[in-house]
Structure 1
Amino acid sequence: MFLAGSAATAAASGYAALMAGQLVAGVACGFGLVVAPVYIAEIAPPSSRGFLASIPEIAGNSGILLSYIADFALAGLPMSLNWRLMIGIGAVPPLFLAAAALLAMPETPRWLVLHGHHDDARQVLVRTTGGDAALAERRLQEIVSSVKESATKQQLSAAAAAAAAGGASTGVWRDILVRPTPAVRRVLFAILGLQFFQQASGVAAMVLYAPRVFNHVGVTSERAVLGATVLLGATKTASIVVPLFLADRLGRRPMLLSSAGGMAVSLLVLGFSLRVSSSSGSGSEWWAAATSVAAAAAFMATFSLGFGPVIWMYGSEILPLRLRAQGTGIGTAANRVMSAAVGMSFISLYEAAGMAGTFYLFAACSAAAWVFVYACLPETKGRSLEEMEALFDAAHPSSPPPAS
């Protein structure tokens, strides 16, 4: 679908065909946002799951940066050709993805067990545990036990729902939306809360409207605005590498708490510099502009330390096996809807509340995100996926140390 969307858009002969190609590419993006974290969470060993689950976010930011470079390189070509090449070049990476899926990517052991392919699951586990057959067998038995327990819960839930509805049954979606267990309800609350707060912090507004923000503090030179915007992109891309190495050492909660706190402080400083710039004379504009750019860069950096990549790994690893794909899809949809709402309302919001007031609001949302993480999210570092449902059955988010 990535290949078809890029190729169709590049070959479009009119507006309708252009939008149809973009629609296909957008659906492909949705698949990628759901499938990649689920696949990595299910196939990665617990000891390195945080490291591996950070890769999609890093790859996404790197891809955006590469697209900027490609656009810049192709901009000098004739107008009838340059935009088609800019979009059409996006059909090349899916070829490598298809080759990797065919030649190097096994199905996840949990999916194989769920569909009765125990021997295939054992072979995959041996590969992903470095050839340790004993460890692979122990992981396999954990997965088999989890699948059996999950199936029993699902049968009991289905029987209760069918009795209440006169024999009707709606399967997985019923277990998520209609009659979720207390543990599933807490898991969904955690996922939707993280996705909401990620976008409520205003990251979409910063990405889309950074030039307007910098213009507001007196940065009017096109070259200076471009340089400041590139600084934000480079900071975001560089900082997102940090969780790759720390997620499995520090844990998910410390990284999310540090990220939310840093975002709140950065946005407060940004709002203050915007307020000073709008109420003072031209003599203070230079330091207000410098402070605004530094605060915006700090916001991007602290966002990338936790709320950028960690929420995706956290959401994909806490969902029960039988609900993982659908639950991840719900979280992704909530994230995209909230991102669109922030991006579409930003101009109206700052015209009504002022630019400084808008970023004060984003700072308040980031502070609320800190409270949410502290009060509602247990630590998942070092735990197997089979332990997660029991973890969320606990009454308090402060979890005991993971099993050795």
Structure 2
Amino acid sequence: MVEGGVTTADKTEFTECWKTVWKTPYIMRLAFSAGIGGLLFGYDTGVISGALLYIRDDFEDVDKNTWMQETIVSMAVAGAIIGAAFGGYMNDRWGRRVAILGADIVFFLGAIVMAAAPNPWVIIIGRILVGLGVGMASMTAPLYISEASPARIRGALVSTNGLMITGGQFLSYLINLAFTKAPGTWRWMVGVAGIPALVQFVLMLSLPESPRWLYRKDRVDEARAILEKIYTAHEVEDELNALKLSVDAEKADEAALGEGMIAKVKSALKNRVVRRGLYAGITVQVAQQFVGINTVMYYAPTIVQFAGFASNSVALSLSLITSGLNAVGSVVSMCFVDRYGRRRLMLVSMIGIIFFLVILSVVFMEAASHAPKISGIESAHFGSNSSCSAYLTATDAPRWSCMTCLKADCAFCSNAASEFHPGACLDSSKVVRGECRAENRVFFEKGCPSKFGFLAVILLGLYIISYSPGMGTVPWIVNSEIYPLRYRGVGGGIAAVANWCSNLIVSESYLSLTEALGAGGTFFVFAGISTISLIFIYFLVPETKGLQFEEVEKLLEDGYRPGLFGRKKEKSKDQVEST
């Protein structure tokens, strides 16, 4: 529960979560139903990566326009920014349950609009609607789960939201593969997204509001009834007393500060404790995006094509591996987040991320430098009308490689004998693509044939393994715990908006960066930003494992310093007694 309780949580781990939900399955029902919001988040993140391959095939103006591709991907993020901001207001005004129901309705409408889109601009409108729903759900689901969970298993249950996100991504890749041969391909991929939204809507209709929010609205009997389903009989009164103290303090603050969102934001920024909470909460949310994870989630098949796999279906199949590893990492996080702590998992995760980003950068640079050469004979074989015009007029044509050809917005048709032998530089039109494939050659438009391809995919998997247990789930847990109760809605909303703004920057710029710097250079940029993020996390983010919300507030009030630069805080009285 949000107000803490009689049991300290410093020894909490996944086994304790399993024992508790086995005895009280109602807790898991609440967490699972709300966690479907994470599934919506994950499905939307993953499905567009595969759908984009086929949207490019259906709309030539998308295929030839990098900005249009980035916009189709990132407009969901733009919608999520608005949704996350409005979600904070809805949470405080109408409750967590209503916010989740609203998110489901908007998401469902967006999925239908995308599936029926006659042109790219209608797809973009559908992406904005889906983004609104995702943004509202992204900060509401962890909050609902957190406030309906006993403190001793709160971290593990909030991690179910992260598990649902990665599970949704994995599901989206399975759906993408299932519809690769179906008429309509991408329309089915994006349309299926409406099903989990509909399922959650039905489930949430039968579930109660957050007990903490109910108590805040003077619906004490309803809050008590819910607490009685979550806690044992002797714990309920202690929880109600904690709720009363917290809500009374919150009402006193609001009497002085006002109830409007603008007033709350101003008050939050003036409050030293809240500011310190925002430093930590925003830091981990921004870092989560700038390590480059959503370039992998949004563009995984495209990245696999950069590594030298031209086939759409092969790219989707290999991308499924990275998505599966992401889901496995979320399970690992659930097992260890309450044993080893939020801060430690993030720091270890960031070190692994930086290492594998650097190695990925080197591998892609080596692949680019060893790209097959362009053969004048092979190019002439298809005739001047099919050959790349830039290649025909280039003064340095004998030095051209496959990478040079692709940078000229042309395509590489592999040698009939071997993909790694010198091939032809051709126009990237559908007609020429057909001519190349008619001779059983491979037509490369995004990346070049490379012996480093499988190594790049393996490194992507290791990058995901490093990311998922730490930076994948923990930032959402931290933001469900780090703010004083009276500022939790607005604090979580601000941090979620920061997350989505960072996501927007990354997703809207990735393809442009790869055109300017290459895949290797882009990954190196992410490695540098990740290094800076690691430093910020080390200095700004405290450990909240096992602490009641009141203890977290006291920790921020006293000021946090990392172990090497400040004296470690003594355990609280309750923690000492528990030990």
With normalisation by structure 2, the TM-score equals: 0.61
Task: List aligned pairs for 1:106-255, cutoff 5 A.
Answer: 106-129=208-231, 132-157=232-257, 170-177=262-269, 180-220=270-310, 225-255=315-345
For residues 189 and 357 of structure 1, do their structure 2 counterparts lie closer, same or farther at Cα, with a shift above 3 Å needed?
A: same
Counterparts of 1:222 and 1:16, CA distance in 2: 23
Secondary structure of the residue that 2:543 maps to in structure 1? coil
Instruction: Provide the residue aligned with 1:164 in structure 2.
Output: none
SS in 2 for 1:54: helix
Shift of 1:397: 4.1
The one-letter amino acid paired with 1:98 is F
Shift of 1:126: 2.2
Tell me which amino acid in the other structure corresponds to 1:173.
Answer: V
Deviation at residue 158 of structure 1 after TM alignment:
5.6
Q: Deviations over 1:288-328 (max 9, x none)?
A: 43432222111111110111111011112212222222222
Q: What letter corresponds to residue 367 of structure 2 in structure 1?
A: S
Q: How far 1:375 moved relative to its partner?
A: 1.3
Q: Distance in 2 between matches of 1:83 and 1:222?
A: 12
How big is each residue's C-alpha offset from its partner over 1:193-212, in whole Å with a ceiling of 9 and x where there is no partner? 11111111111222334455
Note if contact 1:110-1:321 (Cα within 8 Å) is conserved in structure 2.
no
1:20: how far off?
Answer: 4.3
Correspondence list, 1:4-403, <5 A: 4-11=109-116, 19-79=124-184, 84-103=187-206, 105-129=207-231, 132-157=232-257, 170-177=262-269, 180-220=270-310, 225-279=315-369, 288-397=452-561, 399-401=569-571, 403=574
1:240 partner SS = helix
In structure 1, C-alpha distance between the alignment counterparts of 2:126 and 2:519, rounded to whole Å: 36
Task: Name the CA distance, whole Å, in 2 between partners of 1:253 and 1:288.
Answer: 35
Between the aligned partners of 2:310 and 2:126, the Cα distance in structure 1 is 36
2: CA distance, partners of 1:353 / 1:73: 34
Aligned equivalents of 1:333 and 1:400: distance in 2? 34
Change (3 A) 1:370 1:123: same
How much has 1:21 moved relative to structure 2? 4.1
**1:33 CA displacement:** 0.7
Task: Point out the structure with the larger helix share.
Answer: 1
Cα 1:47–1:134, aligned 2, differ >3 Å: closer, same or farther? same
Residue 109 of structure 1 and its aligned partner are, at CA, apart by: 2.0
Preserved contact between residue 177 and residue 317 of structure 2 (Cα < 8 Å)? no
**Structure 2 letter corresponding to 1:70:** I
Rounded to whole Å, the distance in 1 between the matches of 2:349 and 2:242 is 33
Query: C-alpha separation between the residues in 1 aligned to 2:244 and 2:357?
Result: 47
Aligned with 1:382: secondary structure?
coil
The 8 Å contact of residues 367 and 450 in structure 2, kept in 1 or not, is answered as: no
Paired residue secondary structure (1:381) = coil
Matches of 1:40 and 1:218, distance apart in 2: 43
Deviation at 1:50, TM superposition (A): 1.1
Structure 1's consecutive aligned runs of 4 or more residues displaced over 6 angstroms after TM superposition are 13-16
Partners of 1:74 and 1:280 in 2: how far apart? 35
Measured after TM superposition, the shift of residue 218 of structure 1 is 4.4
Range moving further from structure 2, 224-233 or 139-148 = 224-233
Matching residue's letter, 2:540: C
State the alpha-carbon separation in 2 of the partners of residues 49 and 35 from structure 1.
15
Moved more, 35-44 or 350-359: 350-359
Rounded Cα–Cα distance in structure 2 between residues aligned with 1:12 and 1:271? 37
C-alpha separation in 2, matches of 1:290 and 1:24: 37
Residue 217 of structure 1, CA deviation: 4.8
Q: Structure 2 CA distance, aligned partners of 1:83 and 1:220?
A: 18
Deviation at 1:154, TM superposition (A): 4.0
Following the alignment from structure 1 to structure 2, what is the Cα–Cα distance between the partners of residues 3 and 281? 44
Question: Would the aligned equivalents of 2:257 and 2:263 in 1 still touch at CA under 8 Å?
Answer: no
Segments of 5+ residues of structure 1 without an aligned counterpart are 160-167
2: distance between equivalents of 1:201 and 1:225? 22
Instruction: Check the 8 A contact 1:7/1:88 in 2, yes or no.
Output: yes
TM-score by length of 1: 0.85
Supply the distance in 2 between the matched residues of 1:134 and 1:397 (Cα, whole angstroms).
37
TM-superposed CA distance for 1:70, in Å, is 2.9
Work out whether residues 142 and 386 of structure 1, in 8 Å CA contact, stay in contact via their aligned partners in 2.
no
Partner amino acid for 1:303?
Y
1:41-81 per-residue CA deviation (whole Å, 9 max, x = no partner) reads: 111111111111111222122223323333433444433xx
Asked if the contact 2:177–2:313 (Cα under 8 Å) also holds between the matched residues in 1, the reply is: no
Change (3 A) 1:202 1:85: closer
Identity of aligned residues (%): 30
Distance, in Å, in 1 between the alignment partners of 2:161 and 2:513 is 32
Q: 1:212 to 1:375 in 2, by over 3 A?
A: same
Alpha-carbon deviations, 1:72-108, whole Å to 9, x = none? Answer: 33444433xx6554444333323332232222x2222
In 1, the alpha carbon distance for the partners of 2:369 and 2:177 equals 38
Assess if the C-alpha contact under 8 Å between 1:143 and 1:386 holds in 2: no
Structure 1 distance, partners of 2:175, 2:308, is 30
Matched AA of 1:122: R
Equivalent AA in structure 2 for residue 66 of structure 1: L
> How many correspondences in the alignment?
388
8 Å contact from structure 1 (residues 46, 384) kept in 2? yes
